Chains A and B, each alone.
Chain A
Amino acid sequence: MGRETPKQQQQQQQQVSYTVEQLVAVNPYNPDILPDLENYVNEQVSSQTYSLDANLCLLRLYQFEPERMSTQIVARILVKALMAMPAPDFSLCLFLIPERLQMEEQFKTLIVLSHYLETGRFRQFWDEAAKSRHIVEAVPGFEQAIQTYAIHVLSLTYQKIPRPVLAEAINIEGLSLDKFLEHQAANSGWILEKGHGRGQLIILPRNEFNHPELKKSAADSVPLEHITRIFPILG
């Protein structure tokens, strides 16, 4: 029994996840795939991947057979869903989780965390997350995912954002923040500007949400597919 090389392990993992996705697509209403789906959740956590469809499939199976539910797996699914923000995945998962389970301590905490993120209260979020390290540190990539979401919302809102506001939102300060900003300036088009005596201002990249003049008038564009329907008429 030789040791598998990391490459072989990775290939095997890829094979397993390919099969699970197929199962979800082809045979989702099948109680036998429950263990596979549970393993897949753990795999998503450790390999920093994500599949909403597979997780919803598992939550449904738990709904059909509540005795087989694993609260640990459900908690992990919710953390992964939180990391998928701004997508509403967290709510979609909650719709499938029984109310009495949502009253348990760790789920109440996750719901509170979600609430803070949904309402832009990043300071409160990071404070609460710090108190619940055991929940959030169990899932690698959590911090980065939330920071990405924070930047997304800030980019919808601000053309220019004061440094302290940004710092609070992504929970990075001091020298680490300097490094982070340099990295963003070099790779993501951020521009660092000196503010008027009130500290640094960061100019976020232009998009159609913080620069309304960039908004393409998509309302009147017609997809080619629709035009092809009248080709027979046009002759």
Chain B
Amino acid sequence: MATNYDYEEAPANYDETHRQDLGYDPNFVPDSVKSFVGHLYRHIREKNVYEIHQMYEISFQTLSDRLFKDTPWPSVDAVAHYVDNDQVFCLLYREMWFRHLYARLSPTLKQRIDSWDNYCSLFQVVLHRVVNMQLPNQWLWDMVDEFVYQFQSFCQYRAKMKNKSEQEIALLRQYDQAWNVYGVLNYLQAFVEKSNIMQILEQEKEGLEQFTATDGYDYSGGSNVLKVLGYFSMVGLLRVHCLLGDYQTGLKCLLPIDISQQGVYTSVIGSHITTIYHYGFANLMLRRYVEAIREFNKILLYIYKTKQFHQKSPQYEQILKKNEQMYALLAICLSLCPQVKLVEETVNSQLREKYGEKMARMQRYDDEAFAIYDELFSYACPKFITPSAPSFEEPLVNYNQDAYRLQLKLFLYEVKQQQLLSGVRTFLKVYSTISLGKLANYMEVDEPTLRTILLTYKHKTHAVDSDGKIISNADVDFYIDDDMIHVVESKPVKRYGDYFLRQVVKLEGVINDMDRIKLE
């Protein structure tokens, strides 16, 4: 698959002067790169997963920082003969090549299309040939993550039709299969199906399979690539569905993964965060606020405790960004659905620091409040996409914001419907019983209106969970007897059962570790 990186054809958005200054020669291969690809190739052939991981995580980054700060790596044609022209290695190298390009530079349309072709070739190999490799989970996760990211980036790029050149439009029309939404979804789905990952996870529960226990690695001489790609593709599908606005299906795709447990998804921090971020966001849009709060709380605490260990990692910035976004989402959830005991102390103090004042204003439900909901949602939401190709006939406009605007509008609509609930809550906290007439008076509405407000409160605080059951999210609840309101304070119970289970497992781990220590 000889590729011609013909930069002469690059459209206007590629920095011409930049390129000329650096004099990038795609065919020049520095010695350190020769050595890098040579070693990496050998390690992959010998299945030395640890070494592969070190080279992938650390050496690649170091070389990128030192030699390729703002240029691409040498072309695959130039390095091919240092790796026996191995087809699979070349596909893997190109995947890293494009990922580096997207991270440091701005890809041209042609490059986007070429990257899609590369993914197709690489995925075809994994899906249809027997691949005898073991790759680190980090790498396999990055592949899926980057695949979805480039799809999202392409949709955003394609939707900005206004300033597109003739060339670009011609290319877009010609290569209409590139980053086609059907293609993207079907590849992810194919990985899930061909890897049989759903059955593997099911059978693991009955002890008939080993997957999570080995972190997905295959210790019987086989390959982990298809299985783990299948596993991470479930997270990929969740992400794509969130980008499309289909939260229900997204959560369904994630169902085989039990997020109340450690799993392969927690073996890579990027995967852990992406999974919970999208899971929480989807639950927020499904109005399952308590579920979202619980998961955000857990992950934010986890990040707080472990982020110091990732300071040198290339994912560090992303980790911090997602951390901030999830605090914003948590602030939204707690403003819509106040809960007393669901948030850990550390997380709570961080939350107060970042959003304490804003949360107080959000609960006033005035115009300023809506502006803050808007601001936080816009900051924290995924980059929604319009998956359909543009109609090239109509006048060329930018429609890349359409998807986001729709989700925001519907979200604020929901917030508006909950406007009066905050007022009711305040009164219910003060009284143990109060007549409808009196409360209507205090709230300056008539009795029929008050009845509708109370019904709204009940409806909005009693969500329908994934099994169709009704669960109450209300921190303050009530019932009506004819025309008397009786207030019920819900007492949150500490979850001792889970706590003890965790401690039992932890202690066992400590005892096992101690047994392994051989005293000299």
Residues of A within 8 A of B (CB): 28-31, 52-53, 56-57, 59-60, 63-66, 86-88, 91-92, 94-96, 98-99, 115, 118-123, 153-154, 156-162, 165, 195, 201, 209-212, 217, 219-222, 226-227, 229-230, 233
- Residues on A with C-beta less than 8 A from B451 are 120, 165
> Do A87 and B468 touch across chains, with their CB atoms under 8 A apart?
yes
Q: Is B236 an interface residue (CB 8 A)?
A: no
- Residues of B in contact (CB 8 Å), total 60
Whether the Cβ atoms of B452 and A64 lie closer than 8 Å is no
Q: Which of B456-478 contact A (CB under 8 A)?
A: 456, 458-460, 462, 464, 468, 470, 472, 477
| Nearest B residue to A65, CB-CB | B388
The yes or no answer to B19 lying at the interface (CB within 8 A) is: no
Contact indicator A64/B493 (Cβ below 8 Å): no
Contacts of B417 in A (CB 8 A): 115, 118-119
B407 touches A86 (CB 8 A): no
Q: Does B286 contact A (CB under 8 A)?
A: yes
- Pairwise interchain contact A29-B182, C-beta atoms closer than 8 A: yes
- 0/1 per residue, B494-513, Cβ < 8 Å to A? 11111001001100100000
B286: shortest Cβ distance to chain A, in Å?
6
Q: Which of A91, A120, A122, A233 contacts B505 (CB 8 A)?
A: A233
Say yes or no for B285: interface residue by CB 8 A criterion: yes
- Name the B residues within 8 Å of A99 (CB-CB): 402, 405-406, 409
B462 proximity list for chain A (CB < 8 A) = 86, 156, 209
Beyond A64-B388, A123-B448, list 19 extra A-B contacts (CB 8 Å).
A28-B249, A30-B182, A91-B287, A92-B247, A95-B410, A118-B456, A119-B456, A120-B451, A156-B462, A156-B470, A157-B479, A212-B479, A217-B493, A220-B496, A221-B497, A226-B497, A229-B505, A230-B508, A233-B508
**Residue B414 at the chain A interface, CB threshold 8 Å:** yes
7 pairs, CB–CB < 8 Å, chain A vs chain B: A28-B249, A53-B249, A63-B387, A99-B406, A118-B460, A156-B458, A159-B480
User: What 0/1 readout, one digit per residue, does chain B (382-409) give for beta carbons within 8 Å of chain A?
Assistant: 0000111000000000000010011101
Structural contact, B406 and A95, CB atoms closer than 8 A = yes
Instruction: Kindly state whether residue B161 has any CB partner on chain A within 8 Å.
Output: no
The answer to whether B181 has its CB under 8 Å from any CB of chain A is yes
Interchain CA distance A56-B248 in the complex, whole Å:
9
Stretch with Cβ within 8 A of A (4 or more), from B33-41, B311-319, B481-489: B481-489
Instruction: Tell whether, in the assembled complex, residue B455 and residue A154 are in contact, meaning their CB atoms are under 8 Å apart.
Output: yes
A-side contacts of B182, CB under 8 Å:
29-31, 64
Contact with A along B237-257 (1 / 0, CB 8 A): 000000011111100100000
Picked from B414, B472, B501, the residue with its CB within 8 Å of the CB of A209 is: B472
Given A92-B286, A115-B417, A160-B482, verify A120-B459 contact (CB < 8 Å): yes
Contact of B181 among A64, A87, A221, A226 (CB under 8 A): A64
Given A96-B245, A118-B417, A121-B452, CB of A157 within 8 Å of CB of B388: no
Contact yes or no, B388 A66, CB < 8 A: yes
Determine if A86 and B388 form an interchain contact, defined as CB atoms under 8 angstroms apart.
no
Interface string of B284-305 (1 = CB under 8 A from A): 0111000000000000000000
State whether the Cβ of B197 lies closer than 8 Å to any Cβ in chain A.
no
Contact assessment for A95 and B186 in the assembled complex, using a CB-CB cutoff below 8 Å = no
The verdict on B135 contacting chain A, using a C-beta distance below 8 Å, is no
- Chain A nearest CB, measured from B355 CB (Å): 25
A150 to chain B, nearest CB (A): 9
A119 to B452 Cα, complex, angstroms? 7
Contacts of B492 in A (CB 8 A): 219
User: Lowest 4 A-B CB distances belong to which pairs?
Assistant: A120-B455, A222-B497, A95-B245, A29-B185
Query: Whole-angstrom distance between the alpha carbons of A232 and B454 in the complex?
Result: 50
Confirm or deny: B223 has a beta carbon within 8 angstroms of a beta carbon on chain A: no
A101 → chain B, closest Cβ, in Å?
10
Contact A211 B480 (CB under 8 A): no
Residue among A59, A92, A115, A119 having the largest count of chain B Cβ atoms under 10 Å: A119
User: Within 8 Å of chain A (Cβ to Cβ): is B189?
Assistant: yes
Structural contact, A91 and B414, CB atoms closer than 8 A? yes
Asked if B483 and A95 sit within 8 Å, CB to CB, the answer is no
Q: Which of A87, A120, A158 meets B456, CB within 8 Å?
A: A120
Among B248, B452, B453, B495, contact of A92 (Cβ-Cβ < 8 Å): B248
Bound-state Cα–Cα, A52 to B17, Å: 54
Nearest residue in A to B459 (C-beta to C-beta)?
A153
Instruction: State the Cβ distance, B382 to closest chain A Cβ, in Å.
Output: 12
B479 touches A95 (CB 8 A): no
Asked whether A226 lies within 8 Å of B501 as measured between CB atoms, the reply is yes
Who on chain B is nearest to A165 by CB? B451
Tell me the minimal C-beta distance from A77 to chain B in angstroms. 13
Expressed in whole angstroms, the Cα–Cα distance for A47 and B186 within the complex equals 32
Q: Give Cα A57 to B407, complex, Å.
A: 18
Report whether A56 and B493 are in contact in the complex, using a CB–CB cutoff of 8 Å. no
Closest to A123 in B: B448
Report the minimal beta-carbon distance from A88 to chain B, rounded to whole angstroms.
5
Query: Which residues in A have their C-beta under 8 angstroms from that of B453?
Result: 120
Q: Please indicate the chain A residues that have their CB under 8 angstroms from the CB of B247 in the complex.
A: 92, 95
CA distance A59 to B388 in the complex (A): 13
Max chain B C-beta neighbours (<10 A), residue from A53, A121, A154, A162: A121
Asked whether B244 lies within 8 Å of A86 as measured between CB atoms, the reply is no
Residues of B within 8 Å of A88, CB to CB, are 286-287, 464
Select B246's contact among A95, A158, A217, beta carbons within 8 Å.
Answer: A95
Q: How far is the CA of A226 from the CA of B493 in the complex (A)?
A: 19
Which residues in B have their C-beta under 8 angstroms from that of A115?
417
A208–chain B nearest beta-carbon distance, Å: 8
Whether B246 and A159, one on each chain, are in contact in the complex, defined by CB atoms closer than 8 angstroms, is: no
Contacts of A29 on B, CB cut-off 8 Å? 181-182, 185-186, 189
Instruction: Given A87-B468, A99-B405, check contact A229 B454 (CB 8 Å).
Output: no
Q: How far is the CA of A94 from the CA of B411 in the complex (A)?
A: 11
